[in-house]
Amino acid sequence: MIKTIIFDLSEVLIAGLLGVEKSISAHLAIPEEQVVAAFNTPALQDLFCGRLSEDVFLAHILRERAWGIPLESLKRMIRENFHRRVPRMEELLVHLDRGYELVLLSDHAREWMAYIQSIHPFLQIFPTRFFSFELQQTKRYPSTFQKVLRSLNRDPHQCWFIDDSPANIQAARSIGLPSIRFTTAPALVSELESRGLAFCSHATHHFS
């Protein structure tokens, strides 16, 4: 019997780094692909695992890429991206909270999460939240999910894990944790219904 639903944050509930490349590339007049490549380095994992501060991580990018932009401006553009919410997910969380324990599991930077939680009070629906900078490892490692399940005192078959990343889904499934790859709220509702979760007709219509 499913008791707990574990949610990813970025690109499932709100925007993460995805999309920030648009504002940065427009500001610097460089291709978006160059911005994505600048962020997607091993240092990003160090940031997520709490081994680097945001300032050190971003200052390295600015220096390495010779971007003509002040550090504070770059930080502001990143934070502006975090304001975007994934459509209909907040309402879906409220519906699911009536019957399931909701848990948040996010790979994120400490400074970014502090800001995100200050601007998105709906995240308070998660009484239990796990962050990579506290776990000191990300969801790319199966042992991350084992740590979380031990803390929750749950077996894998008692939970669902929802994430947009195929790599994270694969890591979760490798320890027997049933997982759903997120695309949209309506698609998630359909998948949950196919797995036996009952939605009233009004709710199904609302999320479709």
Give DSSP secondary structure letters for 186-204: HHHHHHHHHTT----HHHH
- Tell whether 131 and 199 lie within a shared domain: yes
Confidence at 63, pLDDT banded by 50, 70, 90: very high
User: Under a CB-based contact definition with an 8 Å cutoff, are residues 160 and 178 in contact?
Assistant: yes
Has residue 27 got a pLDDT over 80?
A: yes
- Tell whether 110 and 52 lie within a shared domain: no
Has residue 106 got a pLDDT over 70?
A: yes
Has residue 54 got a pLDDT over 90?
A: yes
Domain, as residue range, for 174: 4-15+85-207
- Tell whether 202 and 147 lie within a shared domain: yes
- Tell whether 186 and 117 lie within a shared domain: yes
Q: Model-level pTM?
A: 0.94
**Tens digits of per-residue pLDDT, 69-82?**
999 999 999 999 99
- Tell whether 61 and 100 lie within a shared domain: no
- Tell whether 192 and 139 lie within a shared domain: yes
Has residue 34 got a pLDDT over 60?
A: yes
Annotate 120-144 with b (16+ C-beta within 10 A) or e (fewer).
beebeebeebbbbbebebbbeebeb
- Tell whether 49 and 92 lie within a shared domain: no
Q: Which of 81, 101, 134 is the last residue before a domain boundary?
A: 81
Q: Which of 34, 65, 81 is the last residue before a domain boundary?
A: 81
- What is the spatial distance between Cα 144 and Cα 8, in angstroms, rounded to a whole number? 13
Mean confidence (pLDDT) of the chain: 95
Confidence at 197, pLDDT banded by 50, 70, 90: confident
**Tens digits of per-residue pLDDT, 175-185?**
999 999 999 99
- What is the spatial distance between Cα 135 and Cα 117, in angstroms, rounded to a whole number? 18
- What would the mean pLDDT of 108-128 be, rounded to a whole number? 98
- Tell whether 8 and 30 lie within a shared domain: no
- Tell whether 96 and 156 lie within a shared domain: yes
What total of structural domains would you count in the chain? 2
- Tell whether 77 and 112 lie within a shared domain: no
Least confident piece of the model among 1-5, 29-33, 123-127, 202-206: 202-206
- What is the spatial distance between Cα 113 and Cα 141, in angstroms, rounded to a whole number? 21
- What's the pLDDT at 206? 60
**Domain CATH number, residue 199:** 3.40.50.1000
Confidence at 41, pLDDT banded by 50, 70, 90: very high
